[in-house]
Amino acid sequence: MTLTPRRSGALLLILSALLSALLASPSRAAAPADPGPLRHHHLHSAKEIERFLHSFYRQHGPTPQDRALRISQQLSEKQDRTPDFDELLCAQDLPRHITVGPATVLLTARVGWATVTTVWGSGKTDTFTAYVRLDSVPIQLDDVICAG
C-alpha cells in the first residue's frame, strides 16, 4: 500500500505524538514526578472536540475570523505555503454542506480527531480528517489531512 504525502502526514503526527508521550512518561522504577501546575490542566474530551469542529466548520466552512484565530500556527503556515488550495477544506471551492463525524481521542498522544465530510454542488462527497491537540488553550484546529 502506498501512502500519499497527506495520509502519511497524519500517520507521522500520531506516531510522533505517541513517541513523545512514551518518552515523557516516567519509568516504573522512577519515583513519581511532581506534575506541578499541569496536574489540573484540562484535556479536551471527544464531545468538546466535536462541538468545536461543528462550530468551526459550520454548514459551509470556517469564517475568516475562525481562519485567523482558531487554527494553530503550524496549520496557518501550511495554508500560507499553498495559497491556491484551501487546506482547511481540502478543496479549491466552498462546499454545499459539511458534516462532522464523531471524534476520537488518544490520551497518550494528546490528540483528537474527527472525519469531516464535504458535499459539493455536483453531489460529490469528499472526506478529510481534522486534528485537535487535547491541551490546546484555547481549543484550536491543529492540522487537517486530506483523504487524497
pLDDT in tens, the chain (148 residues): 444 455 555 554 555 554 454 444 444 344 444 444 444 579 999 999 999 999 999 999 999 999 999 999 999 999 999 999 999 999 999 999 999 999 999 999 999 999 999 999 999 999 999 999 999 999 999 999 998 6
- How far are the Cα atoms of 11, 32, 90, 108 from residue 134, in angstroms, in the given order? 17, 23, 23, 10
| C-alpha–C-alpha distance, residues 143 and 88, integer Å | 8
Give the burial class of 7: count Cβ atoms within 10 A of its Cβ; 0-12 exposed, 13-18 middle, 19 or more buried.
Answer: middle
